[in-house]
């Protein structure tokens, strides 16, 4: 048992007669490790991109709420009256009347 451990430490399993089998396994493990590392990096990139897009969505939502609030305020009757007063327009003192047109049936 002790001799086998020393042989592994010294690397004799890589130069033995059946070393080709060991080299294939080592190359396979190395390729598998490279694939795992690449997969991990792409997953990290996606996580960072998702976080960036989430922040952008939050900013756009807050901007939307702000613009909607300004629009609602600008549509208020008092704001419209003030804006039109600068142009010389005033609200009518008489309320509008509904016009009805009657047609004769033949």
pLDDT band at 35 (very low <50, low <70, confident <90, very high): very high
pLDDT at position 104, please?
Answer: 82
- Determine the average pLDDT of the residues in 70-98: 87
Token readout for 96 is 């509008």
Q: Which residue has the higher pLDDT, 1 or 84?
A: 84
Q: How deeply is 30 buried, as exposed, middle or buried, from its count of CB atoms within 10 A (0-12, 13-18, 19+)?
A: exposed
Q: Which residue has the higher pLDDT, 51 or 87?
A: 51
Stated pTM of the model: 0.55
Cα(49)–Cα(55) distance, integer angstroms: 10
pLDDT at position 23, please?
Answer: 84
3-state DSSP assignment of residue 74 = helix
DSSP-derived letter for residue 86 is: T
Judge contact between 81 and 91, C-beta under 8 A.
yes
């Amino acid at each position: 048992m002790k001799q086998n451990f020393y042989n592994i430490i010294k690397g004799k399993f890589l130069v033995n007669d059946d070393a080709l089998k060991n080299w294939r396994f080592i190359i396979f493990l190395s390729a598998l490790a490279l694939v795992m590392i690449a997969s991990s990096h792409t997953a990290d990139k996606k996580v960072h991109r998702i976080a960036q897009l989430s922040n952008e969505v939050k900013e756009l939502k807050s901007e939307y709420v702000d613009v909607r609030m300004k629009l609602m305020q600008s549509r208020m009757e008092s704001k419209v009256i003030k804006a039109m007063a600068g142009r010389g327009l005033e609200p009518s003192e008489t309320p509008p009347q509904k016009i009805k047109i009657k047609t004769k049936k033949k």
